[in-house]
Structure 1
Amino acid sequence: MTADIELRHYTTHQAAHLRPLLLDVYAEVHAKAAETDPFCAVDPFAEGLDSWSARPGWSCIIGYDNGQPAGYAYGAPLPPGSRWWGGLLTTVPADTIAETGTRTYALSELMVRTPWRKTGTAQRLHNALLAPRPEERATLLVDQDHPKVHALYESWGWKTLGDLRPRIPDAPLFHAMLLNLPQH
């Protein structure tokens, strides 16, 4: 596959139209994990997708290679009183996790189909999703069973805030990470 990926930007207005594609890519990328891990099954992901894509400020980038979806990334700003930090197991100052609705963009999903891995596609999706964001920072969660993914995010400038277990059935232990975003 080529690294000549066309990036298309979407908002919550296109979410219903995108849903089948996003679910198909997810099912393909997580097929093996879903065989043994209920957290990786398509149905819980679909519920999460529906919740995320209905949020104000939701944005999505899909990368296409000759019409084929290579991968995508999406997220949304954290609202005031966000439940995002509810499962934080590491003690941090309260102001670190105080949300205003415009402070933090949560990168909820970033996935690349196998043929496009190790081509720079993940970083292009990541950068395209975050570049226009007006928030001061971004956050994401990395499964602690994936140290290579954690190291990749660190190489892109992300810093680990602490351990977090979402209050979602069968959720694994994650590293909560933060990235300062350029101010526009």
Structure 2
Amino acid sequence: MTTGIAIRHYTGDQAPALRPLLLDVYTEIYADAARTDPFASPDRFAEGLDHWTARPGWSCVIGYDNDQPVGYAYGAPLPPGSRWWGGLLTDVPADTITENGTRTYAFSELMVREPWRKTGTARRLHDTLLTHRPEQRATLLVDQDHPKVHALYQSWGWTTLGDLRPRLPDAPLFHAMLLGLPLAP
């Protein structure tokens, strides 16, 4: 595991200053996918980023190796009446997807730049973002075309709730996953 990575915490009021860095890292990581997949375009990501950073409770962690950003993770609590579950294709009890604004933290993004992959950095970012969350649980979406990523999250304790296709143009089919909180520090 990489120990020389410093992880810094950020909140929504810092999002405008972070936006260029977050977009640059995304554009680097998804350059190949963006050539053929409209859902992976930097413009689409920028729209989603702006949506997320405007949410109450948005939080972010960024890992740095000296002054180099190595990756980040961010998310926000789901508000009452959240559209997050709107594309759920699996039947689940209604109370499973009822949000009150403090029940579920949506773990929206986790990305690590190539030189720092397979070093434990992704897990450190994940754990650092989620360890002190006050919500009961976290949720995330994993593209079903990425079974290794799905297996990785399962190895970290996430369970699959069902299939979900966001109501967004060109959206892929995802596994909707849940993780009980709080994480042990």
**TM-score, normalised relative to structure 1:** 0.98
**Pair 1:69-2:64 in alignment:** no
Cross-structure match for 1:115:
115
Q: CA RMSD in A?
A: 1.1
Cross-structure match for 1:159:
159
5 Å matches for 1:137-152? Answer: 137-152=137-152
3-state SS of 1:89 partner: coil
1:52 maps to amino acid:
W
CA distance in 1, matches of 2:108, 2:118: 21
Q: Deviations over 1:79-131 (max 9, x none)?
A: 00000000000000000000000000000000000000000000000000001
2:127–2:183 contact (8 Å) kept in structure 1: no
Query: Runs of 4 or more off by more than 3 Å in structure 1?
Result: none
5 Å matches for 1:1-184? Answer: 3-182=3-182
CA distance in 2, matches of 1:26, 1:76: 18
Identity %: 79
1:12–1:57 contact (8 Å) kept in structure 2: yes
Residue 3 of structure 1 and its aligned partner are, at CA, apart by 4.4
CA distance in 2, matches of 1:20, 1:8: 16
3-state SS of 1:167 partner: coil
Using the TM superposition, name which of 133-142 and 3-12 deviates more: 3-12
3-state SS of 2:60 partner: strand
3-state SS of 2:32 partner: helix
Q: Tell me, which stretches of 5 or more residues in structure 2 are unaligned?
A: none
2:88–2:164 contact (8 Å) kept in structure 1: yes
Residue 4 of structure 1 and its aligned partner are, at CA, apart by 1.4
1:56 maps to amino acid:
P
2:42 maps to amino acid:
V
Q: Deviations over 1:33-84 (max 9, x none)?
A: 0000000000010000000001000000000001100000000000000000
CA distance in 2, matches of 1:143, 1:4: 30
CA distance in 2, matches of 1:183, 1:158: 11
CA distance in 2, matches of 1:6, 1:33: 29
2:78–2:101 contact (8 Å) kept in structure 1: yes
Aligned residues: 183
1:163–1:174 contact (8 Å) kept in structure 2: yes
1:178 maps to amino acid:
L
Shift in alpha-carbon separation, 1:171–1:181, aligned structure 2, 3 A: same
